Amino acid sequence: MRTPYLAGNWKMNLDRRAALDLVSALREHVGDRTDVDVAVAPPFVYLDEIARALAGSRVAVGAQNMCDEPSGAFTGEVSGAMLVDVGASFVILGHSERRHVYGETDDLVATKVGAALSAGLDVILCVGETIQEREAGETEAVVRRHLTQGLRDVAREDMRRVTIAYEPVWAIGTGHNATPEQAGEVHQYLRGLLEGLHGAAVAEATRIQYGGSVKPANVAELMAVDDVDGALVGGASLSPDSFLPIVDLGR
Ligand code: 13P
């Protein structure tokens, strides 16, 4: 049985006050519930303070990106060890905005995944096709490449520290979520790939989140799909009014 995993990717949003208010509401709402795993990924500069505000709670704190190198002359970058140092327990890697806006390649994403696990961070690895790729019938080929390349250096015993997020690019920030059928098809395909890579036990245990225009009005029907094990939420994770209902409905 996979515990639903609902994570908020704040992207480059909120200020310090709004961030603290949001996590204070979230902390209280989640309490000591164990039927759902909840996490937030604030911008780097707020990680330290947000991790302190959530210390001892059941809400995990993670980063939205990290450097593939452990230290050195990499101006503007942040290492996995630094993230651990300020209280992060996971990192989102391979997000479509990193791939498409900042040109991250499958190779770089794979290197980052390895570096994150070595630093002691869990990983949410994002995969997903653009609308052009979907219309060209390339969805499976694209997510297969993202998944197999992204997991290239991950040992089987480390797979329990990896979550996959299926985020179709055309559904991100557009208000047009994938239908439960569309999400179900790709999630089932991804689970089959995981089985091929690491065997049935790993495939059964690995959580696959859906991301892309998740909101209170659609989260329950998406979570009802067999292979959908949670959500990676952007816009609707920025306010307690939308994220707290998602936590409740996403179980
Ligand atoms: P939205 O929920 O705003 O569509 O963003 C999804 C996303 O990219 C989460 O990582």
Domain with 235, as residue range(s), is 5-249
The model's pTM is 0.98
- Give the residue-averaged pLDDT of 64-74: 98
Cα(164) to centroid(ligand 1), Å: 14
Cα(16) to centroid(ligand 1), Å: 21
Count of structural domains within the chain: 1
Is 167 annotated in the active site? yes
97, 129, 133, 167: the active-site residue: 167
Which amino acid, residue 39? A
Binding-site residues, ligand 1, Cβ < 6 A: 9, 95, 167, 172-173, 211-214, 232-236
Residue with tokens 């816009």: 235
Is 176 annotated in the active site? no
CATH of the domain at 56: 3.20.20.70
List pLDDT tens digits, range 162-183: 999 999 999 999 999 999 999 9
Cα(72) to centroid(ligand 1), Å: 32
Alpha helices in the chain (DSSP H): 16-30, 44-53, 80-85, 96-100, 106-119, 131-135, 139-150, 180-198, 200-205, 216-223, 240-249
Which amino acid, residue 91? V
Query: Alpha carbon of 112 to those of 16, 67, 119: distances in Å?
Result: 27, 7, 10
List pLDDT tens digits, range 212-225: 999 999 999 999 99
95, 146, 187, 198: the active-site residue: 95
Per-residue pLDDT, 250: 83
Comparing C-alpha atoms, which of 149, 163, 137 is closest to residue 3?
163
- Give the residue-averaged pLDDT of 46-50: 98
- Give the residue-averaged pLDDT of 104-120: 98
Name the token pair of 37.
Answer: 């795993």
Per-residue pLDDT, 219: 97
